[in-house]
Structure 1
Amino acid sequence: MTGQRTYGGISAEERRAQRRTALLDAALEIIGSQGIDKLTVSALCAGAGLNERYYYENFDGRDAVLSALFDAIAEELATAILRAIQTAADDTRAHAHAAITAGIGVLTDDPRKAQVALLVSASTPELRTRTTHTIRAFAHLVAAEGIDFYGLTDPDPNPAIGFRATYLVGGLVHTLTSWLQGDLDMPRDELIDQTTDVFVLLAEDLATRLRD
């Protein structure tokens, strides 16, 4: 029975996961190099080197591919940001700079990911909804990290924390989009430094107010 479920030491589930990853990698390449309009079933399967039946094994349409790819990039972003925070020096600016550097790095070291995460994310109603939910999730992450870092242990956090976290994450998304489109003429290091300044300014100001 085991021999029927495995091939070359790889289970059927693992093979399916590999095919799904290959399809998502192909989608990333197509969108990044040719644009979303070129994302067809035939192009996707050709890029992944797979039969079309494997596409339908994993996805029921193009929106499902885009959503899965968007979610994968969001997960990669969250992982990179949390890892950076865990290894940063124990001060506000170091935490903010490390997190922002990691997040912007994921999107700009491979510009195809920025194309999906920021420029294609509003292309369908499903992706617009996903973008809103993802911004909210990252705002919750920022708020939780701020509460933990500043020791704000109130069981009922001040709503200003959520407001500022949402403002920061939403503002960063729009700023990054403008920068990627060439509307902000500055090098990446300066973009990171300027963003860090804003995060630190709003975080320190609010922490001071809440402690007074």
Structure 2
Amino acid sequence: MESGNSIHQKPVFWQESMPELRPCHNRTVTAQRTYGGISAAERRAGRRAALLDAALEIIGTQGVDKLTVAGLCAQAGLNERYYYEQFTGRDAVLTALFDGIAEELASAIVQALQEVAGGSAADTPSAARENAANPSARRMRPETRTMAHAAVAAGIHVLTDDPRKAQVALAVSASTPELRSRTLQTIASFANLVAARGIDFYALSTPTPDPAIGFRATYLVGGLVQTLTSWLQGDIDMTREQLIDETTDVFVLLGEDLAQRLR
């Protein structure tokens, strides 16, 4: 499984258990064992990845209610003791999966923006296609819409290329109060990312950012989460590309409007 309170800091998913200690001539030494060129730490990491992959499969295909210790270990092909080596309970598994997906989303969005910024956004083939296909795009600065489209598409693709990931995100947001709080924290982190990128793109840096920037960023990210949830449930009759295009338009319209007001 590929791996927040903060987008800029990698969340700490787990702490490795203490290595085995054994006595030796009235002193203690750490046992460092390597089998087949693979260290103990690497084996633990491999078991953790297998458990998370298994959890993703179970939640994504059967639902979160089917996520049990026995079922998870059977799916991963591991003894149950390895589950307790890594996790304290089901919430810990869900949190690790959720954090991993959040990291993947952030990385995909940042990479997409960097790739667009690496060339002339207004002159890229994708920009030409967007402007030709979407009349509203021609009324906006081409580079603005291309940047927004790249970020929105990257995020939506992560969740919809593998529908199991969307199922995990939905399961976490509808689970325990602690996990719902985790969802809100992650939304806030993505809103901070959107706000920071908008401030940089529109050159709006000031000693004290206008509160409207954070408000609109939170509105956009929170609204996208709810819209994507409705779309995945079949309540919005659109193709994925239509969803991306409409979302892009909303992001750009709110961003351009605020930028003009603050300049």
TM-score range, shorter chain: over 0.9
Tell me if the contact between 2:33 and 2:39 (Cα under 8 Å) persists in the aligned partners. yes
Q: Higher helix fraction: Structure 1 or Structure 2?
A: 1
Deviation at 1:12, TM superposition (A): 1.2
Q: Which residue of 2 aligns with 1:61?
A: 89
SS of the residue 2:204 aligns to: coil
Match status 1:165 vs 2:165: no
Q: Deviations over 1:43-101 (max 9, x none)?
A: 10011111101000000111110111111111110010100011112621111100110
Query: Matches of residues 90-101 of structure 1 in structure 2 within 5 Å?
Result: 91-101=143-153
CA distance in 2, matches of 1:54, 1:13: 13
Which residue type is aligned with residue 49 of structure 2?
T
Deviation at 1:10, TM superposition (A): 1.7
With normalisation by structure 2, the TM-score equals: 0.78
Match status 1:52 vs 2:104: no
Larger Rg: 2
Q: Which residue of 1 aligns with 2:36?
A: 8
Runs of 4+ aligned structure 1 residues displaced above 6 Å come to none
Of the candidates 69, 74, 78, which is equivalent to residue 102 of structure 2? Answer: 74
With normalisation by structure 1, the TM-score equals: 0.96
**Percent identity (aligned):** 77
Match status 1:32 vs 2:84: no
Which residue type is aligned with residue 107 of structure 1?
L
Q: Which residue of 1 aligns with 2:69?
A: 41
Which residue type is aligned with residue 144 of structure 2?
T
**Structure 2 alignment gaps of length 5 or more:** 1-28, 123-142
Q: Which residue of 1 aligns with 2:247?
A: 195
CA distance in 2, matches of 1:5, 1:94: 52
Q: Deviations over 1:4-62 (max 9, x none)?
A: 43222222111111111110100000001111111000110011111101000000111
- Higher relative contact order structure (alpha carbons within 8 Å, sequence separation ≥ 6): 2
**Structure 1 alignment gaps of length 5 or more:** none
Q: Which residue of 2 aligns with 1:146?
A: 198
Moved more, 10-19 or 49-58: 10-19
